[in-house]
Amino acid sequence: MKRFTSMVLAAAVVCSLGFTGCGKNADEQAAANSTPVPTETPVPTSTSTPTPTPTPVTYVYGTASLTYAEYYAGDVSSTDGFDAVSSATNKKNAIMSSMYTDFVDAETNASGYHILGVNNCNIAVPDFQAEEYAKINPTFVKTGSEAPKQFKTVSIENGKASYSATNFNTVAVVKDATTSLSTSSNWGDYLVCLFDTSETHLRNTREDNFDINSALQGMIVETSDGLKVGLEALQSMWVQPYEFSFNVSKDSTRNSRISGWDNLTELAKLEGATITKVYYIMADATYEYDIEGVYVKPQYKGNAITAKRADATVTLSEKNFKNLENPTLTVTYTVGSGRSAKRTVVLTTALTDGTASYTADLSAIDLTAGGTFSATISSDNTADIAVTVE
């Protein structure tokens, strides 16, 4: 009797565990109702060394003279072409206070001097490298621990100094300046002038009460395709900085102040390009001029053109003008030289293809004054063509 009762109780217990499983094999039922126990993945023990927090660099600030390659480092498309501007005389060595030159005195530099770069550039040097930098660049003078408004950072590796891009302090962005382009001037192959309108920053007189004045350190011109070229003193930058000039060839006859152009590999890239921005860099501030666009017309690549004058008739050595767009001939009579020269235009005429001779009006000039005749041909697709009048 006890055995029977125990069997009944066991069956009841099994049925109470799950009514639907009462007729199944016990092993199958246990497997069906069991919940798998997840296996814990052991957490790996890190053996790597934690990255140390960099120690902040403390800088020492000062000024130094830099070559143009150092001065424009990181700011222009290339500094590979910079060397030095060669002056043709020993004059004007102090006309711009920012010029860094090898001028000693008139006797030592009797045949000229070189413009090497820029004076009084603001420099930031890691304090632990300051003494080493002073040995590399003896012109370095400490000014304190307070950062200037505009500066370059220098780092030293293997005894050589490298310079960062300039931390520019742009104080004005001018968008309404007007421009003009001359492609035949006494300053170079090209002369560009910028004229202030609503804002006045550019020095365009001999007075020095302008934001951008004779202490100008550098200039960068930027083209529509992103080319950036740095300019140099007395080659491109002038005491009256509203105008700047540049060559695209080695010929220095248009600028008698220098005997050799520098950075021509970069300047030549401006030919045929459109200048859209000009940056004027003072010691502590930069002025950005966004201009409508100055197209740098390519130089004339044809044969040299000369002219002969017989009384009022001017006859060109060339009469084929098919490759020139809207060509115009201008003949000028000049008495004197420099700023005191008196110039009178005696002929301005459109050139006709197939015609070489043109008549000037000489009634307004004094042929006995010892003046000289000169001529230029301008067109829409080339730089002005200088014509020698015999």
pLDDT, one tens digit per residue, over 45-97 is 556 666 777 778 899 999 999 999 999 999 999 999 999 999 988 888 888 99
Strand partners for 161:
156
The least confident of 36-45, 221-230, 276-285, 349-358 is 36-45
User: What is the per-residue pLDDT for 16?
Assistant: 39
Query: What mean pLDDT comes out for the span 186-190?
Result: 88
CB 239 within 8 A of CB 231: no
CA distance 63 to 133: 12
Instruction: Write the DSSP symbol of residue 209.
Output: -
Would the pLDDT of 13 be above 50?
Answer: no
Would the pLDDT of 32 be above 70?
Answer: no
Task: Report all structural domains of the chain as residue ranges with CATH numbers, in order of start.
Answer: 59-163 (no CATH), 170-295 (2.60.40), 306-389 (2.60.40)
User: What is the per-residue pLDDT for 79?
Assistant: 98
The least confident of 109-113, 171-175, 352-356 is 109-113
CB 218 within 8 A of CB 281: yes
pLDDT tens figures, 158-170: 999 999 999 999 9
Place of tokens 């000014």: 143
CB 308 within 8 A of CB 315: yes
Range list of H helices, 18-84: 26-33, 68-71
DSSP string, 324-336: SSS-EEEEEEEES
User: What is the per-residue pLDDT for 252?
Assistant: 74
Would the pLDDT of 3 be above 60?
Answer: no
Place of tokens 């590796």: 157
CA distance 276 to 225: 9
pLDDT tens figures, 192-249: 999 999 999 999 887 778 999 999 999 999 999 999 999 999 999 999 999 999 999 8
Place of tokens 């730089």: 383
pLDDT band at 28 (very low <50, low <70, confident <90, very high): very low
Strands 385-389 and 306-310: parallel
List, as own/partner pairs, every contact residues 102-108 make where C-beta atoms lie below 8 angstroms and the sequence separation is at least 24, other chains included. Answer: none
In Å, how far are 133, 151, 153, 235, 309 from 147, measured between CA atoms?
18, 8, 11, 32, 65
Chain center to CA of 133: 26
For the entire predicted model, the pTM comes to 0.80
Would the pLDDT of 2 be above 50?
Answer: no
CA distance 362 to 333: 9
Would the pLDDT of 6 be above 90?
Answer: no
Report the 10 Å Cβ neighbour count for 7. 10
User: What is the per-residue pLDDT for 11?
Assistant: 38
Q: What are 118's two structure tokens?
A: 């820029």
pLDDT tens figures, 300-314: 988 899 999 999 999
Strand partners for 190:
246
In Å, how far are 86, 158, 264, 389 from 101, measured between CA atoms?
10, 27, 20, 39
Query: What mean pLDDT comes out for the span 86-111?
Result: 91
Q: Quote the mean pLDDT of the chain.
A: 87
